[in-house]
Amino acid sequence: MKLDSPFFMTKVECPVCGQVNEFENIKAGAYTETGRDTDFCPNGRVWANPEYQKINPLLYFMATCRNCFYTHEFNESFKEWKSDRSFITHRLSLIRERHKEELKQEESLINRLGQALDPEGHLFESAMIKLLLGIYSEKTTEKPNALDLGRYFLRIAWLYRENQEGRDTPHKMEKLNLTNMEKTLRALQSNCQNHEEKIYDLKTSVDSCFHTQAGDMEMDQKGEQLKIKYLKGLDKIQEHLSSLLESLDELTDMCAQIHNSSLGSESENTKITPGIFEGLVPALSLYGDANHPSFANFLSSLKESWPEIPLNEYEAMKSALKYYKQSYQEAKDITQKNQKIQAAYLIAELSRRVGDLKEAENYFEEAKRTGQDFIRRNQDDPNKIALAQKIVELATKQGKVNLVQAESRV
């Protein structure tokens, strides 16, 4: 390893198979971020060593055992797992049992994903695979951590975004147009769903609309006839809306398929300094062979047995949103007040990004309310409230963006 390498190595024994692995830790100051998106995705970085400029640090976010492919977030908790009595006593036995059972099956998801790792030749793909392995490993536990699952899916969304933005091909404008088409389709879907809700409201209020004074039998009969015609008219509109929503779903799926077919087909097979990943299991030649002509095709084949695998940024955000909401509502994985404020904000921002603007509005208000309450109770400690202040500012700003989007749909 070069002296100017941005890494230092840490040895960790695999909790499942016992093999001692050496994992890369990124040194403090090895790179600087140039900015962050409104869902906290880094939108630019500069490595001190320019040789590593094309590497996304998320490649090192997860630690994967070279022997059995057990994967965990590469944090202090994982590094010190042998000192965690609760993990050893209550969780480890089941994790080992389930993981080893998967390994026995040659075509299991763990084997297929793990054998496909190629961090020297396919940076984006390997970072994605490690995150998927980390999610799969977490879901084998007795009580998966919903907050962590949300965090991992969000990082997959970030990877898709950076991979998409990093391409500079003759088809870039066509892809931009495709993205705009998807946004328009989602807006139409939302409008149709709103109309369906309004029709439901009309149906529930139909009795009061055609009510006549008691005792007037002739008027009652006419009112009943009009009511039947009225309901038939609403049913017909509802039928057309359902058909329209089905068509919109089909068109949205077509756009997603076009995105998926292009994913990986133009991905650069960037080589990095030899030796950094020395000893890893040799990669399958799946990014261009007869069975899997692209990485998207490979993931699509895995999705048949694990439907939760996201094939694009939108699907990854939907899964992240699902688990963030589960964690927030159950309040079992969020342990700090700042975490709750941040989770409420992310639920709002992800809801906005996937097109659920009403949900976004509710959670932006929730983030502001929770954040302002925390700031008020800790106003004498500037350091403690600094993060909460930033999130409240973001929630206020993005709440206005969400309102503009909602108004444009009317």
Residue pair 116/286 in contact (Cβ under 8 Å)? The answer is: yes
Q: What is the number of other CB atoms lying within 10 angstroms of the CB of residue 128?
A: 27
Task: Report pLDDT for 284.
Answer: 40
For the segment 201-247, what is each residue's pLDDT rounded down to a tens digit? 777 777 666 655 555 666 667 777 887 888 888 888 888 888 887 88
Tokens linked to 279: 């000893």
Q: Is residue 254 part of a domain?
A: yes
Task: Report pLDDT for 241.
Answer: 81
Provide the domain limits for residue 12.
7-167+268-308
Tell whether 183 and 153 lie within a shared domain: no
Q: Is residue 317 part of a domain?
A: no
Mean pLDDT of 100-105: 94
Q: What is the number of other CB atoms lying within 10 angstroms of the CB of residue 392?
A: 21
- Tokens 């302002």 locate to 372
For the segment 2-44, what is each residue's pLDDT rounded down to a tens digit? 558 999 999 999 999 999 999 999 999 999 999 999 999 998 8
Tell whether 194 and 277 lie within a shared domain: no
Weakest-pLDDT range from 72-86, 163-177, 256-270, 290-304: 256-270
Tell whether 34 and 121 lie within a shared domain: yes
- Could you tell me the end-to-end alpha-carbon distance of the chain, in angstroms, rounded to an integer? 59
Tell whether 161 and 75 lie within a shared domain: yes
For the segment 178-194, what is each residue's pLDDT rounded down to a tens digit? 666 766 777 777 777 77
Tell whether 150 and 41 lie within a shared domain: yes
Q: Which residues on neighbouring strands pair with residue 13, listed in sequence order? A: 20
For the segment 337-384, what is each residue's pLDDT rounded down to a tens digit? 889 999 999 999 999 999 999 999 999 999 999 999 999 999 889 988
Q: Is residue 243 part of a domain?
A: yes
- Whether residue 279 is predicted with pLDDT greater than 90 in this model: the reply is no
Answer yes or no: pTM beyond 0.85. Answer: no
Task: Report pLDDT for 332.
Answer: 77
- What angle, 0 to 180 degrees and rounded to 10, lies between the N-to-C axes of helices 172-204 and 217-262? 160
71 burial class (0-12, 13-18, 19+ CB within 10 angstroms)?
A: buried
Q: What is the number of other CB atoms lying within 10 angstroms of the CB of residue 281?
A: 15
- Tokens 């990943």 locate to 277
Residues 6+ apart with CB under 8 A from 241: 192, 195, 196, 199
